Structure 1
Amino acid sequence: MEWTGARYADTPTVEVRTWVDAPPDRVWGIVSDVTLMPDMSDELQSVQWLDGAVGPAVGARFVGRSRHESLGEWETTSHVIECEPPHVLAWAVSDPAGPSAVWRFRLESKDGGTELAEWMQMGPGRSGLSFAIDSMPDKEQKIVFVRLREFERNMTVTLAQIKKLAEA
Structure 2
Amino acid sequence: MSIGQPTGSVTVTIAAPPEQVWDLVTDVTRIGEFSPETFEGKWTRGSAGPEVGAHFAGHVKRNGVGPTYWSPCKVTVCDPPGGDGPAVFEFSVGTDSVQLNNWGYRIEPDGSGGSKVTEYFRLEAALPMRIYWLVLGWARGRTNEKGMRTTLEKMKAVLEK
**Into which bin does the TM-score normalised by the smaller protein fall?**
0.7 to 0.9
Q: Cα distance 1:97–1:110, how it changes in 2: closer, same or farther (>3 A)?
A: farther
In structure 2, distance between residues paired with 1:14 and 1:111: 25
What is the percentage of aligned positions where both structures have the same residue? Answer: 27
Relative to the length of structure 2, the TM-score reads: 0.84
Partner of 2:32: 38
Matches within 5 A, 1:1-168: 4=2, 6=3, 10=4, 12-68=6-62, 72-86=67-81, 87-95=87-95, 98-112=98-112, 113-125=114-126, 133=132, 141-168=134-161
**Could you say if the C-alpha distance between residues 71 and 121 of structure 1 is closer, same or farther in structure 2, counting changes exceeding 3 Å?**
farther
- Contact 2:77–2:89 (CA<8 Å) still a contact in 1? yes
Distance 1:161 1:33 in 2: 15
- One-letter amino acid of the counterpart of residue 22, structure 2: W
Structure 1 segments unaligned to the other structure (5+ residues): 134-139
Structure 2 residues without counterparts, runs of 5 or longer: 82-86
- Number of residue pairs the alignment of both structures matches: 154
SS of equivalent to 1:58 = coil
Conservation of the 8 A alpha-carbon contact between 1:11 and 1:124: no
Q: Which residue of 1 aligns with 2:84?
A: none
Counterpart CA distance in 1 for 2:15 and 2:125 is 35
Q: TM-score, normalised by structure 1?
A: 0.81
Name the CA shift for 1:110/1:39 in 2 (closer, same or farther; >3 Å): same
**Native 8 Å contact 1:14 1:121 kept in 2:** yes
Q: Classify the secondary structure of the residue corresponding to 2:49.
A: coil
Shift of 1:94: 1.3
RMSD over aligned CA atoms reads 2.5
